[in-house]
Structure 1
Amino acid sequence: MPETGRAAALIDRVAGLSWRGRVLVLGALGAVAALGQAPVGAWPLSILAFALLYGVFLRAAGGRQAAWIGWAFGTGYFLVSLNWIIEPFLVDVARHGWMAPFALLGLSGGLALFAAAALGLGRSLGGGALGFVGGLGLVELARGYVLTGFPWAQPGHVLIDTPLLHWASYLGSLGLTALVLLAAVALWMALTGARAGFAALGAMALLWPLGAMLTPDAGAGPEAAIVRLIQPNAPQHEKWDPEKIQGFFDRQLAFSAAGEGRPDLIVWPETAVPVMLENAARTLEVISDAAGGVPVVVGLQRREELRLFNTLALVEAGGSVAAVYDKHHLVPFGEYMPYGDVLAQWGIHGMASKDGQGFSSGPGAQVIEMGALGRALPLICYEGVFAQDLRAAPGRADFILLITNDAWFGKFSGPYQHLAQARLRSAEFGLPMIRVANTGVSAMIDAAGRVIESLPLGEAGWRDAALPPPLPPTVYARLGDAPMLAIFLVLLGLSRLDHRRRAARI
């Protein structure tokens, strides 16, 4: 059926532009698609932008042209959605500031290669809706694994703050991505006069109320453990200032001691203790005394021979260390530098790490026994964006325990996107999350992904929150991304078969 309507005419005009004009328009379209990400949350604009991208994709003469379309769109998309990436470089402007524009442009253009591969693959295997959804979906899956992975700002993340989040418990973030892409295809069909598009949009719209109705009640009961979230709000450029370190530490001690009742657990954020673990015996005693003997989770660093670790420690009464977890999924170019010793000679260092190689990776995912609270799955900062890291844990936990220092991400989009992905992890696995961030947003998240208590971004304070119960293991917790991998491969296979059938008729 030929396409009709203003949308088709608009895309025809774009197709008639010079290649520079097409790149600019597609980049702008990608920027609009990024507005669905937190904190803007304009998910309808994202679906509309992907719908128009699909219209351009249909007009691609071949895989190579489709790849250029994907790259231009992806560059605009990541320039806007990852604008926060410049923030870490501005903490120490004298040392890293010159890298900021190159980091944003380089990362955006580099990640756009995934979009290029997706549309190039989809078009080469036949194009159409099957190639579009299958190609983008498969490559988005790969983006979470290639070169240690970076699954930030996936298309499906625009649905986290909607009732459709519930469906992540079945098919994960890639399932949400598939919903966005399918809705975009259906919207394009509707805009160009295809009745099937309206029917598809109507059928997909039913998932919204169904998601709301099926989202379980995962609230805490009257006997739930009380957890105190400690948010010192130490700006990154001041956090390690020798004249201010003690003040931030004393603030956390005061927050731990505040209030009349005693919580069951107190949690400090990532690198909250300015002393190496092996030298912190007296410091941990002071923390325990301030907490009144209540167990305290703290973030700090530790050294083992020549290796440096970013560590979470469970401190019990008297300052004894009951458990230690070392971060294992490190941030490239932040916590460690690939070829760090070589790059250090040219003045290029990791930002959160020491000179040269920086932090070492811990042994991997683990579960910590925390007495009456149950079993905790500890995560530090960036690890919360990787669903596969949670699935790698040895056994199912009762809750997720994430400490982070989101001061690195600035005050606009980064912290909110990081929080959104934490909510997604809870919904995917059916586990509540204790999330404590240096500058915010610290939050208690229930097993359906809802924030039930929080401390705002940029404020110092503490909050006592009841720990919600876990839900039974979700479909996603049991199967992971395997079902979506199979679906995307099937879509691409069907696209290829359909292309061959159409070619045989000519």
Structure 2
Amino acid sequence: MRVESGLAAAVYRVERVAVALAELRGWRRYLAAFAAGAVSVLALPPYDFLPVLFITVPFLIWLLDGVGEPTRSRRRRVLWRAGVVGWWFGFGYFLLGLYWIGHAFLVEAEKFAFLLPVAVTLLPAGLALFTGAAAALARLFWFRGYRRVVVLAVSWTVLEWLRGHILTGFPWNLIGESFSGSDALMQAAALVGAYGLSFIALLIVGSPAAFDTRVSPAQRAVDGELLTAPLIALAGLALIWVGGAARISSAELKYADGVSVRIVHPNTPFADDWADENRVLTIIGQLLRMSRDPTPERPRGIDGKTVVVWPENAVPVLLARQPYVLSAIGRVLPEGALLIAGSNRGEPEPGGPSDRLRVFYNSLYVVGAGGEIVETYDKHHLVPFGEYVPLRHWLGRIGLRQLVQFQGSFDVGPGPRTLTLPGLPPVSPLICYEVIFPGEVVAPGPRPDWMVNITNDAWFGVHAGPSQHFSQVRLRAVEQGLPLVRAANSGISAVIDPYGRVLKSLPLDRRGVIDAALPAPLQPTLYARLGDFFLAFLLLAASAAAWYGRPRVKSRA
């Protein structure tokens, strides 16, 4: 009897909240949507509080219940209201999730601080268009009970995928990244990828909204979804966790034969990266000492089967045009060792003088023991407004410039590559932002054995941004079944195994080095083989299941 009375009390509370949200009108409805989106950020790194989504996503669904039914005469009005609700939810989600971008405008505050309020609000406002479109699309097919949760999960996932691809894409803070706080839960990315995690997460966390405010209490009692849907969803979440935990516990981690890695984590203050000549020499000297000196793990220092990794833009000069720096690197590296380092690269215009550089790239260099450049990779996924300005000829007239050391945009590299290096397993290089794109971190053709990501997250201080970036790095390792070595100027640097587990790391704002063996790869995962095609099949199957036998909504008595 106590259990039954407790359940009845819980159902009554849910009903009161759901009906109250559905009955909100005007600015109160949009304020509630904004608040739900803002609170949803707690599910993402560095907070990783997944349970909050069991509240905020149902809140969004109940708010969408209240916008009316899209009959032929009212369709545009209802879909507009649904889109606005979704936009406000997304605006709160992205505003609180991406607030740290404003820190980049303070690096050179005298030049860019005046743009901070615009940038911090315009990007979330633009990204919220995708959540608004997802809400409007879902509301067009707003079936009864749990079926509308499925519809929202499908439309949200489709719009997230589009967000990751339109205008070069920006798949940051996908809702599925809420699973990255658990090593076990994130293993599902090996099957469905990060977009698939979003789909699964929404199916689960939206389950309390099986309570449908638009149907009569008698019909809700017949449906019985209010309790069964959340229980099944929780069982599904538990099953995903158990499956992921079993995958990890049965893993036999292997290592590349004799290959070791040294990650240099210099924590160089960003504003000093391109300072006077004495400061440049100090930075280079520090990098060389950290690359050479012994550590407790390597008391004799590095040997001939070591790859040393420096962060993005670690060298505050154009490395290929500084023979004295290359010579110094060659003296530090023993025979057979290699250095992977980030540096900008400049080229003259075709037919122009060789000493007048006009084309610049954000590049990764591989340097051998003799100081020779073995390989070069140019970044192909550039950061909008950070490394290039879209429509720059127009936007430049109103004062928008990218936050890079050179005037004008970086040029785009040819695309993903697999580098074959002497004495090392083949590697896929990724510079900073490139690692956030699911399914685009490995080039077609021969599969690499590992990935290397160099970055400089010092742009974003010690806020949430570096933690969010790092969670995406771990998801790429799980998706591809490949280990990943990451060197970040100020953090987070790490060696990550092909299950996404952090083997060794250095946190934000701490100088040091990481010495570790290089993990071996797994066999290609389902996601590595099929990409998002398996997810497309799941979305079609879920859409068909929601559509088949759908009952008509009966208005509340």
Give the TM-score range, shorter chain. Answer: over 0.9
Q: How does 1:105-184 map to 2 (within 5 A)?
A: 105-127=121-143, 128-162=148-182, 163-184=184-205
SS in 2 for 1:230: strand
SS of the aligned residue for 1:72 comes to: helix
Please point out which of 422, 438, 447 is paired with 1:387: 438
Structure 2: unaligned runs, 5 residues or longer: 1-9, 69-77, 213-224, 295-299, 349-357
- 1:195-216 CA deviation, whole Å, 9 max, x = no partner? 3332332233222122111135
Q: Find runs of 4+ consecutive structure 1 residues off by over 4 angstroms.
A: 220-224, 493-499
Q: CA deviation at 1:12?
A: 2.0
**Gap change, CA 1:101 and 1:489, over 3 Å in 2:** farther
Cα separation, partners in 2 of 1:340 and 1:193, compared to 1, 3 Å: closer
Deviations 1:12-63 (A, max 9, x none): 2233334111211211111111111111111111333113222323333232
TM-score (norm 1): 0.94
For residue 441 of structure 2, give the secondary structure of its aligned residue in structure 1.
Answer: helix
* Partner residue in 1 for 2:120: 104
- Structure 1 partner of 2:301: 261
CA distance in 2, matches of 1:337, 1:361: 12
Asked whether the equivalents of residues 284 and 319 of structure 1 are also in contact (C-alpha less than 8 Å), the reply is: yes
Flag structure 1 segments of 5+ consecutive residues without an equivalent. none
Distance 1:350 1:76 in 2: 26
User: What is the SS of the residue equivalent to 1:467?
Assistant: strand
Whether 1:375 aligns to 2:375 is: no
CA distance in 2, matches of 1:250, 1:397: 32
2:58 maps to what in 1? 51
What is the Cα-based RMSD across aligned positions, in Å?
Answer: 2.3
Kindly, what percent of the aligned residue pairs are identical?
Answer: 36
Q: Distance in 1 between matches of 2:440 and 2:233?
A: 35
- CA–CA distance in 2 between the matches of 1:55 and 1:211? 32
Aligned partner of 1:286 in structure 2 is 328
1:65 aligns with 2:99: no
SS in 2 for 1:111: helix
Give the count of matched residue pairs: 502
Partner of 2:372: 320
- Tell me the CA shift for residue 224 of structure 1: 4.3
Q: Which moved more, 1:435-444 or 1:343-352?
A: 343-352
Are the counterparts in 1 of residues 477 and 496 from structure 2 also a CA contact under 8 Å? yes
In the TM superposition, residue 275 of structure 1 has moved relative to its aligned partner by 1.9
Give the TM-score taking structure 2 as reference length. 0.85
Aligned to 1:422: 473
Preserved contact between residue 94 and residue 128 of structure 2 (Cα < 8 Å): yes
Kept in 1, the 8 Å contact 2:319–2:325? The answer is no
1:253/1:291 contact within 8 Å kept: no
Whether contact under 8 Å (2:256, 2:519) holds in the other structure is no
Alignment match, 2:281: 246
Q: Which amino acid counterpart does residue 236 of structure 1 have in structure 2?
A: F
CA, structure 1 residues 50+248, in 2 after alignment: closer, same or farther (shift >3 Å)? same
Counting only pairs closer than 5 Å after superposition, residues 208-227 of structure 1 correspond to structure 2 as: 208-215=241-248, 217=251, 219-221=253-255, 223-227=257-261
Report matched runs for 1:389-468 at 5 Å.
389-468=440-519
The residue type paired with residue 282 of structure 1 is Y
Deviation at 1:156, TM superposition (A): 0.4
> Does 229-238 or 121-130 show the bigger shift?
121-130
Q: For the residues of structure 1 that align with 2:98 and 2:519, how far apart are their CA atoms?
A: 32
Match of 1:19 in 2: 26
CA distance in 2 between counterparts of 1:11 and 1:121 reads 21
- Write out per-residue CA displacement over residues 364-387 of structure 1, whole angstroms, 9 at most, x where no aligned residue: 110011233210000100000012
The answer as to whether partners of 2:311 and 2:488 remain within 8 angstroms in 1 is: yes
Alignment deviations for residues 410-469 of structure 1 (CA, whole Å, 9 cap, x no partner): 212111111110000000000000100111111000000011011111111111111111
Deviation at 1:351, TM superposition (A): 0.4
1:477 equivalenced with 2:477 (yes/no)? no
Moved more, 175-184 or 321-330: 175-184
Which amino acid in the other structure matches residue 228 of structure 2? R
User: Larger radius of gyration, structure 1 or 2?
Assistant: 2
**1:81 is matched with which residue: 97, 122, 126?**
97
Contact 1:218 1:448 in 2 (8 A): no
Aligned equivalents of 1:383, 1:136: Cα separation in 2: 23
Give distance in 2, aligned partners of 1:381 and 1:199. Answer: 39
What is the rounded CA distance, in whole Å, between the counterparts of 2:533 and 2:429 in structure 1? Answer: 24
Answer whether contact 2:439 2:528 (CA < 8 A) is retained: no
